[in-house]
Structure 1
């Protein structure tokens, strides 16, 4: 199996899963933990390949969500005690609004191009 960067992939989810199984079969002797990933239920992880190539990057990139969760955890950790659950919600909302004004103002990568091509 040759390496192909994400931009050149035109495979659908079933083909992606088959390539993954080929990869696992090749390396499972050296890395036995890979065997558990051969289950048929793991085909769901490849459904993003059914979308156009332009959208695939948007789907499997969860950095924004992870970044917001990290901000939430950091903010809550700095303030060890909160007077009520309302104050916690207010604090998390203010963190989300602060992030919206700075980080999340950027447009989603190639979203407009995909929307127009539909």
Structure 2
């Protein structure tokens, strides 16, 4: 449940002429400074668009508990975690190497194959995360040095 996927789901059935307006109103929700401001923006979105596209508000409202976690982090971290595409891609790579093997001789065998899959997948990661240094700094402040290696 990430912001990018929520926006994609929300705009899937939107008319082309309303798309820019819908996206701008959705951006007001997920780019709000606080959870309360985001919730207010969602309510405002509902007032404007419920007559034409009621499922968008309903979807965001239903998933609000999950989406509200996003607001607990500073903007630097939000930019790094607004999408789960990288995680989903890695999970796909790991499933791909394990799905055809029904058994492994021991636990070390599966750890080795997963290690190799992660190593191979990481070679394809060429696009750096934008402003990663600032996000890493915020992670260290929030979670402490014991969880964020330097």
Map 1:1-118 onto structure 2 (within 5 A): 3=24, 9=31, 11-33=33-55, 34-35=57-58, 37-38=60-61, 42-77=64-99, 79-84=100-105, 86=107, 87-100=109-122, 102-104=123-125, 107-113=128-134, 115=137
Residue 57 of structure 1, CA deviation? 1.3
Give the 3 Å change call, closer, same or farther, for CA 44–75 of structure 1 in structure 2.
Answer: closer
Q: TM-score, normalised by structure 1?
A: 0.64
* Aligned partner of residue 103 in structure 1, secondary structure: coil
TM-score, L = length of structure 2:
0.53
Q: What is the alpha-carbon distance in structure 2 between the residues aligned to residue 113 and residue 42 of structure 1?
A: 27
Alpha-carbon distance between aligned partners in 1 of 2:106 and 2:54, rounded to the nearest angstrom: 46
- Figure out how many residues of one structure are paired with residues of the other and give that number: 112
Aligned residues: CA RMSD: 3.5
Gaps of 5+ in 1: none
Give secondary structure in 2 for the equivalent of 1:21: helix
Structure 2 residues without counterparts, runs of 5 or longer: 1-20, 142-150
